[in-house]
């Protein structure tokens, strides 16, 4: 006689098999799905009313309900025509790794708990450090994302460069394009807003070195302590790479910690063609690198890398008495000594599966493809009257906008582009969001998904043209277009 648990386990097994088959088919046919699948009001109302039941329900019922009400109502960030934010590039291989790791659920905090898993994660970290050009003293840790990687590195920077007494006089340099997670991280580790210097950027949205030097000199003169410069290797808005060599020289000259936020762009180190753009990253003290952005991983797979592993140990090792038996030795470094987490999943294993199966060359080609798709977008838009390139294709990101013919005001142009974004996203064909550059609303495309084809780009640009054309403005936006001026006014 089977127990109730055995019966339920068998049902769960059947559902998992059913789900796996459906998921692979869904992945293969994703292009036929709309990119955005918003939840219906009725679905949200139904979920809102649900509570945690005192008595459980049949798993089949909960499974079907969750598929219908939750998983079917998400934006498909991994859709080949999802171009907003940093779209997910997650692959089936990464998902498979997630499933395997999730099942065995290793407590990847120390060697004793899973020596082989730890060895594999360490090998990956060492490989990433060597791609960055870091020396043998380097090390790092897989963390949940770029925000955590930045926070972890900034903590090490603070502890290496400042005494407790000096913290209130310290200053940090970012650019106007630095990701918001840096300011968030600095707030968490105790710095005030007025301790962050926002350095202007040049026409390609890279940190202006002359302004940076002047700010450092000024701060020193006024008795403050410049302690960290945050260089971006691939900004979120424009894919720009800050001048690494110049920043490294300033850091050397003034004994400042150089952190590179490579959450988005560090993966370009894998590309024969684009690696050179990151030249100088090897001089940094720390960097963040998200595998869940451009290395085909499902979420929660990022690395914080440091030039000297000991700098992380200095900030994070705790050695509580209840973990003594699990420590390899007094001197041995465990993953729990390198970051804020104790219990952590073995985030690197899915990346290992992906890289072992694909090889690093194919991963480099993923980067080349993403960059080529942004370059193609730029080429197509340049050929079409009315479209302005605001930031050219850089590391798979391009920004542009449509300027209707006539006496259109800046506010109207902003509203017009906002409307194009809304329309194309609502159409379900492609997802394109706006951002702001030079005080203007612009359309931004991040084209890093390796399953995005040239046809996807051409079709998307064609749809953009159709939505934006002056002639269609009235029909598309329902706005009053004056034939002579061909100008669209926001409602």
Site residues for ligand PLP per CB under 6 A: 86, 145-147, 179, 181, 232, 235-236, 261, 263-264, 290, 302
Whole-angstrom Cα distance, residue 401 to residue 444?
Answer: 9
Measured from the CB atom, is 181 or 284 closer to ligand PLP?
Answer: 181
Residue 382: both structure tokens together: 């340049």
Measured from the CB atom, is 232 or 354 closer to ligand PLP?
Answer: 232
Q: How far is the CB of 235 from ligand PLP (least distance, A)?
A: 6
Whole-angstrom Cα distance, residue 16 to residue 58?
Answer: 15
> Is 322 strand, coil or helix?
helix
Measured from the CB atom, is 149 or 170 closer to ligand PLP?
Answer: 149
Structural contact between residues 373 and 89, judged by C-beta atoms closer than 8 angstroms: no
Measured from the CB atom, is 77 or 386 closer to ligand PLP?
Answer: 77
Q: How far is the CB of 472 from ligand PLP (least distance, A)?
A: 33
Measured from the CB atom, is 154 or 380 closer to ligand PLP?
Answer: 154
Q: How far is the CB of 144 from ligand PLP (least distance, A)?
A: 7
Nearest Cα to 128, choosing from 363, 440, 406?
Answer: 363
Q: How far is the CB of 86 from ligand PLP (least distance, A)?
A: 4
Structural contact between residues 463 and 430, judged by C-beta atoms closer than 8 angstroms: yes
List the strands of the sheet with 170-175, edge to edge. Answer: 139-143, 302-306, 286-290, 257-261, 225-232, 170-175, 196-199
Whole-angstrom Cα distance, residue 410 to residue 421?
Answer: 17
Q: How far is the CB of 313 from ligand PLP (least distance, A)?
A: 23
Bridge partners, 374 (sequence order): none
Measured from the CB atom, is 110 or 397 closer to ligand PLP?
Answer: 397
Residues 6+ apart with CB under 8 A from 378: 389, 392, 393, 398, 400
Beta strands in 149-250 (DSSP E): 170-175, 196-199, 225-232
Measured from the CB atom, is 290 or 341 closer to ligand PLP?
Answer: 290
Q: How far is the CB of 388 from ligand PLP (least distance, A)?
A: 24
Q: How far is the CB of 202 from ligand PLP (least distance, A)?
A: 18
HSE-CB for 192 with a 13 A CA cutoff: 6
Whole-angstrom Cα distance, residue 135 to residue 132?
Answer: 9
Measured from the CB atom, is 301 or 349 closer to ligand PLP?
Answer: 301
Q: How far is the CB of 85 from ligand PLP (least distance, A)?
A: 6
HSE-CB for 8 with a 13 A CA cutoff: 10
Measured from the CB atom, is 179 or 441 closer to ligand PLP?
Answer: 179
Structural contact between residues 375 and 396, judged by C-beta atoms closer than 8 angstroms: no
Q: How far is the CB of 292 from ligand PLP (least distance, A)?
A: 6
Q: How far is the CB of 43 from ligand PLP (least distance, A)?
A: 27
Q: How far is the CB of 200 from ligand PLP (least distance, A)?
A: 18
Measured from the CB atom, is 181 or 267 closer to ligand PLP?
Answer: 181
Whole-angstrom Cα distance, residue 461 to residue 455?
Answer: 10
Query: What is the DSSP annotation of 275-312?
Result: GGGGTTGGG-SEEEEEHHHHS-PPSS-EEEEES-HHHH
Measured from the CB atom, is 289 or 416 closer to ligand PLP?
Answer: 289
Whole-angstrom Cα distance, residue 295 to residue 370?
Answer: 11
């Amino acid at each position: 006689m089977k127990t109730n648990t055995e019966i339920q386990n068998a049902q769960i097994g059947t559902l998992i098999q059913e789900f796996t088959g459906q998921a692979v088919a869904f992945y293969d046919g994703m292009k036929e799905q709309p990119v955005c699948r918003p939840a219906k009001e009725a679905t949200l109302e139904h979920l809102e009313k649900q509570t945690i039941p005192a008595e459980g329900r049949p798993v089949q019922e909960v499974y079907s309900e969750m598929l219908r009400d939750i998983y079917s109502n998400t934006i498909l960030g991994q859709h080949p025509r999802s171009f907003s934010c940093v779209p997910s590039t997650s692959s089936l291989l990464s998902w498979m790794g997630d499933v395997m790791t999730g099942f065995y659920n290793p407590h990847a905090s120390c060697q004793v708990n899973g020596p082989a898993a730890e060895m594999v994660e360490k090998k990956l970290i060492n490989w990433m450090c060597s791609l960055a050009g870091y020396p043998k003293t380097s090390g790092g840790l897989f963390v949940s994302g770029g925000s955590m990687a930045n926070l972890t590195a900034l903590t090490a920077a603070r502890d290496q460069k400042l005494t407790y007494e000096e913290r209130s006089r310290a200053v940090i340099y970012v650019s106007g394009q630095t990701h918001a997670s840096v300011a968030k991280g600095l707030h968490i580790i105790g710095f005030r807003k007025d301790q962050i210097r926002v350095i202007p950027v040049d026409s390609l949205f890279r940190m202006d070195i002359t302004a940076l030097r002047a700010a450092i000199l000024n701060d020193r003169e006024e008795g403050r302590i410049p302690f960290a410069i945050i260089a971006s290797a691939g900004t979120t808005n424009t894919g720009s790479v800050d001048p690494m060599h110049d920043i490294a020289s300033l850091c050397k000259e003034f004994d400042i910690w150089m952190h590179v936020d490579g959450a988005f762009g560090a993966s370009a180190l894998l590309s024969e063609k684009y690696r050179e753009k990151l030249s100088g990253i090897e001089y940094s003290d720390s960097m963040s690198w998200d595998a869940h952005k451009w290395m085909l991983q499902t979420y929660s797979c990022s690395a914080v890398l440091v030039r000297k592993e000991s700098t992380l140990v200095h900030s994070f090792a705790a050695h509580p008495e209840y973990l003594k038996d699990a420590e390899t030795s007094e001197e041995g470094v465990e993953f729990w000594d390198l970051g804020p987490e104790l219990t952590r999943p073995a985030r690197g294993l899915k990346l290992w599966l992906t890289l072992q199966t694909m090889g690093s060359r194919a991963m480099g080609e993923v980067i080349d493809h993403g960059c080529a798709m942004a370059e193609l977008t730029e080429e197509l838009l340049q050929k079409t009257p009315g479209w302005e390139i605001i930031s050219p294709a850089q590391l798979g990101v391009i920004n542009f906008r449509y300027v209707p013919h006539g006496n259109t005001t800046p506010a109207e142009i902003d509203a017009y582009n906002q409307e194009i974004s809304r329309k194309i996203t609502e159409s379900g064909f492609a997802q394109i969001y706006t951002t702001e550059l030079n005080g203007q609303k612009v359309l931004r495309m991040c084209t890093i998904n390796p399953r995005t084809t040239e046809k996807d780009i051409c079709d998307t640009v064609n749809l953009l043209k159709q939505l934006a054309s002056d002639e269609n403005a009235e029909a598309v936006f329902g706005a009053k277009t004056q034939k002579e001026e061909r100008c669209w006014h926001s409602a």
